[in-house]
Amino acid sequence: MDNLESLVDVDRGMISREIFVNEEIYRREQEQVFARAWLFVGHESQIPGAGDFVVSSMGEESVILCRDRAGAIHVFLNSCRHRGMKVCRYDEGNTVEFMCPYHGWSYATDGTLVGVPFLKDAYGPQLDRARWGLVEVAQLENYKGTIWATWDASAPSFLDYLGGYKLYLDLLLDAWDGREGGTEVIGGVHKWLIPCNWKFPAENFSGDRYHGVSHRSVDMVGIGPSGKGRRDMQERNEARWLDVSFPELGHSMIAFLRAHDSPLAPAYQDAPVVADYFRRCEEDRRRRRGEYWRLFGGPGTMFPNTSPLARQPRTLAVWHPRGPHQTEVWRWYLVDADAPAEVKDFLRHYYIRYSGPSGLTEQDDMENWNYAHKASRGVIARQFPYNYEMGLGRATRAFEDHGLRLPGTISDVTAANASENNQRGYYRRWRQFMEAGSWKDLVS
């Protein structure tokens, strides 16, 4: 795409509708973005035992996440090397091998081609089995239980890819009391389709504090953990609101920084046990994290299509591209592994009524993404770029609060209420990926 320059003008906050609806751009995205970037695949707790597997998706393609007999975790393309048949059509299970139902080639859980009918008689020396195992990702990382992978051997390590964003992603993945890791998935991954381009939800989660109107009906009805509004607002009301972006990485998050001298905030009042649990967590958190205890997360997006939501309802969403005009959403729900059963159950109920296609809140997001996309496809509409001017030029790369420095390009929107700092950072990186010839051009 030689004309990306004119389509994505981040400095002026103008982005063409073409990048959402154009078929050729979509096709390029598969090669330039999804075949290169680190993508979220699943969670360790989904495959606890040897031979356990779940089927997941990377970009448009089906992959198998499994643990081999030796306990090592792998991610394979779910396609036979012989004629491409999907070797696993189950969503999950436990197996010793994946046998292809077409001609019976079978692959061990470490991907090696172990079974070939009539191997000696029919193939003799011709078939070099070692070269025909399942296609495996080039790099894989198990980061605090979350499994990430990339098809590109020249991609940087996951930690380099994550960069300074680590501090924020950890807000989701560490236990609420500040211990490293310690989160698990509660059973059941939501999967559903939305008729819009995959970047609508990705940018919305990257830092859209601005769409309160979408959810006003929920605020009126009240589904929050304290029975009011969407969430417990009080602690946020006395915190600084920060839109945190890493334009050079594409990652971003909505964050809240509480006052250095702020007291604990009451929450979950109508559920004493839960309220009690979180109070204890926060006490421990202060002890363990020092000044960082003050930092709380919200929704964010890790480039390109994974969105952590770092507070209740704590979730990880992946926006899988399914053609330029459709997105398949997968949603994982996280809780502290060792939280009391009652707390887990309380949160489970909250997640269900809040999130996904059966959640009161996100139904309205999807309606908006659906028709925002649809109304942007026409020959006239495509002449008018979207507006990303909000908060242009207000961000700092050197944020500090009472001696606490935070990484990232940060826009303090406590007064402004909202900015498009994060969206701009996201699309800046998106354009780099689309223009890059290889990872060489993407690492500075």
Partner 1 sequence: MSDRLARLLLKEDIEAFLYQEAELLDERRYEAWLDLFTDDAHYFMPMRRNVPHDEPEREFTRAGVDVNWFDEGKDTLTRRVRQILTGIHWAEEPPSRTCHMISNVQVLATDPADPTPTEVTVRSRFLVYRNRVETETDFLVGRREDVLRRVDGGWKIARRRIVLDQSVLLAKNLT
Q: Which does 104 bind (CB under 5 to 8 A by kind): Fe ion, a second copy, partner 1, none?
A: a second copy
Rule CB under 8 A: choose which of 48, 69, 84, 93 binds partner 1. 93
Cα–Cα distance between 260 and 254 in angstroms, integer?
19
Q: Which does 212 bind (CB under 5 to 8 A by kind): a second copy, Fe ion, partner 1, none?
A: a second copy
Nearer to ligand FES, 38 or 76 (CB): 76
Is residue 203 near Fe ion by the rule CB under 5 A? no
Q: Which of residues 99-138 bind partner 1 (CB under 8 A)?
A: 101
Report which of 98, 335, 83, 59 is spatially closest to residue 202, judged by C-alpha positions.
59
> Which among 29-37, 41-49, 133-141, 363-371 is the span making contact with Fe ion, rule CB under 5 A?
363-371
Tell me if 53 sits within 8 A of 92, measured CB to CB. Answer: yes
Cα-based distances in Å from 309 to 204, 207, 298, 314, 318: 12, 11, 5, 5, 11
Is residue 365 near Fe ion by the rule CB under 5 A? yes
> Which among 220-228, 231-239, 277-285, 416-424 is the span making contact with a second copy, rule CB under 8 A?
416-424
Q: Which of residues 277-336 bind a second copy (CB under 8 A)?
A: none
Nearer to a second copy, 48 or 378 (CB): 378
> Which among 29-37, 91-99, 173-181, 400-408 is the span making contact with partner 1, rule CB under 8 A?
91-99
SS (H, E, C) 403-420: CEEECCEEEECCCCCCCC
Cα–Cα distance between 101 and 247 in angstroms, integer?
46
Cα-based distances in Å from 150 to 38, 48, 63, 147, 187: 5, 22, 12, 11, 25
Q: Which of residues 144-183 bind a second copy (CB under 8 A)?
A: 151
Q: Which of residues 63-122 bind ligand FES (CB under 6 A)?
A: 80, 82-83, 85, 100, 102-105
Q: Which of residues 359-378 bind partner 1 (CB under 8 A)?
A: 360, 363-364, 366-368, 370-371
CA 1 centroid distance within chain? 26
Measured in degrees and rounded to the nearest 5, phi and psi for residue 258 equal: -80, 160
- 322 is written with which tokens? 């399914």
Nearer to ligand FES, 148 or 427 (CB): 427
Cα-based distances in Å from 288 to 176, 281, 400: 11, 10, 21
Nearer to ligand FES, 100 or 275 (CB): 100
Nearer to a second copy, 314 or 322 (CB): 322
Is residue 92 near partner 1 by the rule CB under 8 A? yes
Nearer to ligand FES, 102 or 384 (CB): 102
197-215 burial code (b ≥16 CB/10 A, e <16): bbbbbbbbbbbbbeeeebb
The H or E element spanning position 6 is helix 4-7
Cα–Cα distance between 133 and 310 in angstroms, integer?
38
Q: Which residues bind partner 1 (CB under 8 A)?
A: 89-93, 101, 186-195, 214, 216-218, 220-223, 328, 333, 345, 348-349, 351-353, 357-358, 360, 363-364, 366-368, 370-371
